[in-house]
Amino acid sequence: MPDEEYLYVECQCHSMDHVVRFTRFDDGEYWLHMQMTPWGGFFRRLWRAIKYVCGKLDDPHWGETILSPENRQQIVDFLNRD
């Protein structure tokens, strides 16, 4: 397996559930790892929201990660490294 380098980017809300990971491999390949939100119809989203509020939903879902100016610069620097 090739060596890899990681960059972890934290959301401005500081939730550990909103961390995005960038991976760069020695062969020049890049991967982006993030939690995806499976959007459904209105009633499915409403049901998930009710379960979340009641503490019955144990898997995190989100639709975005808020990037600070420092995060944006870290990402640019990471992607531009040789």
Cα–Cα distance, 17 to 67 (Å, whole number): 14
In angstroms, the CA 25 to CA 17 distance is 24
pTM comes to 0.65
Bridge partners, 25 (sequence order): 4
pLDDT, one tens digit per residue, over 41-79 is: 888 878 877 887 888 776 656 667 889 999 999 999 999
Domain count within the chain = 1
The share of the chain scoring above pLDDT 90, in percent, equals: 37
- State pLDDT tens for residues 9-38: 998 988 777 889 999 998 889 999 887 666
pLDDT-based confidence at 8, cuts 50/70/90? Answer: very high
56 is in which domain, residue-wise?
4-80
